[in-house]
Structure 1
Amino acid sequence: MSEMSPQPQSAPPSAVPAAGMPAGPATGLPGAPAGSPPAAGLPAVPAAGMPAAGMPTAGMPTAGMPGGMPPGAMPDPGRRKRRWRLVGLAAMIVFIAGCAIAMTVFLGFNIGVDGLLLGTAAALLPVPVLIGCFMWLDRYEPEPVGYLAFCFAWGAFVATGTALLVNSWSAYLFEGWGLSESLVAVLVAPFIEETMKTLGPVLLLWRRRREWSGITDGIVYCGLSAIGFAMVENILYLGGHGYAASNEQYGPASGAQQLLLIFIVRILFTGFAHPLFTAMAGIGLGVAARTAARPVRWLAPIAGLLVAMMIHGTWNLLPSLVAATGETVVLLYGYLGVMIPAFFGTVGFAIWLRGWEGRLTERALPAYVRAGWLSPPEVATLSSLGRRHAARRWAKRVAGDAGLRAMRNFQFTATKLALLRDGMDRGLFKHVATAEAEERALLDKVTAERAVFVGRDPQTPPARWDGERYHITFPDGVSRPIEAPTSPVVPIPITTYYR
């Protein structure tokens, strides 16, 4: 059957005959036949089938509410908890804002206003490109913008401020001990910088663990923190060591030339360094987020952080070796032998992970097909970005811009549902009732989004999916059961489907 979702018989027509079978992206609301049991652990579809979106749901029990009582009719025991969350959020915003002001004042005082402005302008240039790369990785289930902004701000202001204080204090101690100041970059900076860059995502994992869908999210959150850190650090190097230092001795032209040289080295050649380092810690956090094993939850982040520190320390060691040996070729060998392989290895791994959430839908969502909540073609269209784009184009064709938005939200919600079901199967949630209530809310949202583009294609007849077969109303007005084809027809052809 080729449809984005089956439609109750009262819905407008929407199917196209293909090879003797009704085909074409028909959309609608799936419902199990009366009395059919749901799949184990899944909410039951009402006996009369799910009502069409936009129709009143009177009489349908609300998940977790006795007797179908609406949420507003019961006391809210979590009100005080939400109030404390708001207080904590406000305190975090004030804290990060204070760190931002302190860093701005420090940079302006040490490198001057001109150096601060020019350094900021140059350091901002690679930021959109780097952020875009990480957003490209997070296409299946994009993370909330607020959480991404938190990680970026944490790395830019909290992590840089703390690292600056610790590195400066360590340099003072090393000088008193008669040690070279360059040792700070090898023995201190990797540990404090990677720890502070990772601490922001760790706090997010602690407080918002359900927003972590796996390793991809760990790489994205830690990558955003590292981008913020690198941006502020580049302001100091470009505006201070570059423009301000040369301008003071040789004039503005020399300052601009030095700024350009540092830009080429730090931005064009090694602009990926900090995100690469901290991505190792992100991998560890992502592993911890999707496991129920307590030892793994602790050991995976620690292992990832240690790897990040080791790669960072190795990279910082190269300039010290150049200074000690006088051989600049050491830096080239280190760049080609360490950084480039690590970079391409991490990129390849991240691209492989990019499709993990798509493949997860093929494993987790068929349970909802058997329960009557979803149809086989709906699940089939979620398994790759190409199929998702094809479904969105179809939704826009039959329902306009509203259909496109609804299809996009439908896909994101279905992906969240797959992640939630996978987490429930893994035993990640202590409060099962809360997870089940969230599951029902996601199913209701899937139903509501689907209703925007349901039955809009005039080429497909009314159809209903009962969890095992389709019930299609033919032109003679008779509804007949049709077995689902082995390869569901969707906006683009597929070859396999796993049930």
Structure 2
Amino acid sequence: MDPYPAYPHHQDDALGTAQGGTVRHPRWWERKGVRATALATLLAVSGVVIAALVREQTGTQGFLVGLGLAVVPVPLLTAAFRWLDRVRPGPWRNMIFAFAWGACAAALIAIVANSFATRWIETATADPTGADTLGATVIAPIVEESAKAAAVLLVFLFRRRDFDSVVDGIVIAGITATGFAFTENILYLGNAFGTDQLAGTGPGLSSVTAATFFVRVVMSPFAHPLFTVLTGIGFGVAAVTARDRGRFRRLLVPLTGLLCAMGMHAFWNGSSSLGEYGFFAVYAAFMVPVFGLVTWLAVYLRQRELRIVREELPAYVAAGWVTLPEPFALGSLKARRLAREFAAHYGGRQAAESVAAYEAYATSLALLRRRGSRGRAGADFVVRERELLDALWERRAAARPALAYGSRSAAPVWRPPVYAGPQMTQGPAYNPYRY
């Protein structure tokens, strides 16, 4: 059987072949292993330095207490973003990088830059109170959001094939901000514990530690992720719509998202200066509605991706790349789950992983085709489409029966029409047995 029924046999120029038939080998600093090692070293050094700085400010006991309390919201936030990314899960290496960048590199940049800027303003104005206020409402939002946005930018530039939707931008930005908030919470909770130790306040609801935990972990664990998600949305929109636009527009959309993140962050930090109840007023009237709106947008975009899968994959059915039930199964999260469970039951873990990869590649293929139909797929559309189709073909043995099973819960059920005889339409009060 011809494995490529829809395409003529030819060799793609996808292996680095340059003009004239010569192969260009990457320089040593361009190799993936060298880049990965350098990045891992940078993050590790940043982690050691930021841990030492935080421990210096909080003390060993405060650091440990802050660490134990700050980790509480991390699994919940991470699970929420991974749930949002279920349609086309991104690689775990991107998630790990984003979290590590937020917790280590971004936090280190923020704590050093914020301290330097605040001290410079205090020295220049001789007003410590004004310097702290200006640093919290102006300097901190600019520095922190820029540092977190750097992770989104790096994934956008160097992992572009994993970053081709608005949902991808939301997830990468949210995970980065989750890591940043984790480190920041260690600092705030550790300092609160130190304050309680100096005041002789024991553990309890009236302690500064409990109040800090309630405000930062219970009430607003989503604050930092919400700010940075605005930046992620900007990069996601650029990835989807700006492929055929000029460089200025490609830069304008992410920059607009970053500016919105900075503005929202500044407004949130400045709420404490709006009076006794300013914080709660901003929280209820601004933060919660924006959080609800962004959550709705994220869920809507995820459902839209499923709809695109159902609409675009049928084009590959006639060519034999996918079978008839697959667009219905791949367009339903329930059917996808049933397919993975079926594969795991009859084929083991390897078969389930193969089905999960098939689902991800099929989703990427549908999104690529949608962009291609709108002229936004880029110059490598044919090569990328062929790569995705090859990936599906390699996994068809495990995926097709599993998806056929899963499609039972998603495919429309055909029911024959019921013949009810000629319809008499002589008015609503008509009774055939009246005469």
- Show the 5 A alignment for 1:274-423: 274-291=224-241, 292=243, 293-294=245-246, 295-322=248-275, 328-396=276-344, 399=347, 402-423=350-371
* 1:116 maps onto 2:57 in alignment: no
Q: CA deviation at 1:398?
A: 5.7
* 1:490 maps onto 2:429 in alignment: no
- Counterpart of 2:269, as a letter, is N
Work out the CA distance in 2 between the residues paired with 1:437 and 1:194.
36
Q: CA deviation at 1:88?
A: 2.4
| Of 182-191 and 275-284, the range deviating more from structure 2 | 182-191
Q: Which runs of 5+ in 2 are unaligned?
A: 16-20, 415-435
Q: Verify the 8 A CA contact 2:201 2:207 in the aligned structure 1.
A: no
Give CA deviations for 1:19-70 in whole Å, capped at 9, x if unaligned.
xxxxxxxxxx9885xxxxx3xxxx35xxxxxxxxxxxxxxx7664599xxxx
* 1:447 maps onto 2:364 in alignment: no
Q: CA deviation at 1:374?
A: 1.7
| Of 212-221 and 242-251, the range deviating more from structure 2 | 242-251
Q: Verify the 8 A CA contact 1:243 1:256 in the aligned structure 2.
A: no
- Counterpart of 2:264, as a letter, is I
Work out the CA distance in 1 between the residues paired with 2:388 and 2:289.
41
Query: What secondary structure is seen at the aligned counterpart in 2 of 1:376?
Result: coil
Count of residues in Structure 1 that have an aligned counterpart in Structure 2 = 402
Match of 2:432 in 1: none
Work out the CA distance in 2 between the residues paired with 1:321 and 1:178.
23
Q: 1:147 aligns with which of 91, 94, 99?
A: 94
Q: CA deviation at 1:285?
A: 0.6
Query: What secondary structure is seen at the aligned counterpart in 1 of 2:64?
Result: helix
Tell me the TM-score normalised to structure 1 length: 0.73
- Show the 5 A alignment for 1:46-445: 63-64=12-13, 77-80=24-27, 83-176=30-123, 177-179=125-127, 180=130, 181-240=132-191, 242-250=192-200, 253=203, 257-291=207-241, 292=243, 293-294=245-246, 295-322=248-275, 328-396=276-344, 399=347, 402-428=350-376, 431-432=379-380, 435-445=381-391
- Counterpart of 2:250, as a letter, is R
Q: Verify the 8 A CA contact 1:215 1:282 in the aligned structure 2.
A: yes
Q: CA deviation at 1:377?
A: 1.4
- Counterpart of 2:305, as a letter, is E
Match of 2:426 in 1: none
Give CA deviations for 1:316-373 in whole Å, capped at 9, x if unaligned.
1111222xxxxx2222211110111111111111111112221221233222223231
Q: CA deviation at 1:412?
A: 1.5
The change in CA–CA distance for 1:82 and 1:395 in structure 2 (over 3 A counts) is: farther
Q: CA deviation at 1:297?
A: 1.6
Q: Verify the 8 A CA contact 1:226 1:275 in the aligned structure 2.
A: yes
Q: CA deviation at 1:264?
A: 0.9
The change in CA–CA distance for 1:406 and 1:158 in structure 2 (over 3 A counts) is: closer
Query: What secondary structure is seen at the aligned counterpart in 2 of 1:374?
Result: coil
Q: Verify the 8 A CA contact 2:205 2:211 in the aligned structure 1.
A: no
The sequence identity of aligned pairs, in percent, is 33
Structure 1 residue ranges (4+ consecutive) displaced by more than 6 angstroms after TM superposition:
none
Work out the CA distance in 1 between the residues paired with 2:31 and 2:14.
25
Tell me the TM-score normalised to structure 2 length: 0.83
Work out the CA distance in 1 between the residues paired with 2:348 and 2:34.
42
Query: What secondary structure is seen at the aligned counterpart in 2 of 1:140?
Result: coil
Greater relative contact order, per chain length (Cα 8 Å cut-off, separation 6+): 1
More helix by share: 2
- Counterpart of 1:155, as a letter, is G
Q: CA deviation at 1:115?
A: 0.7
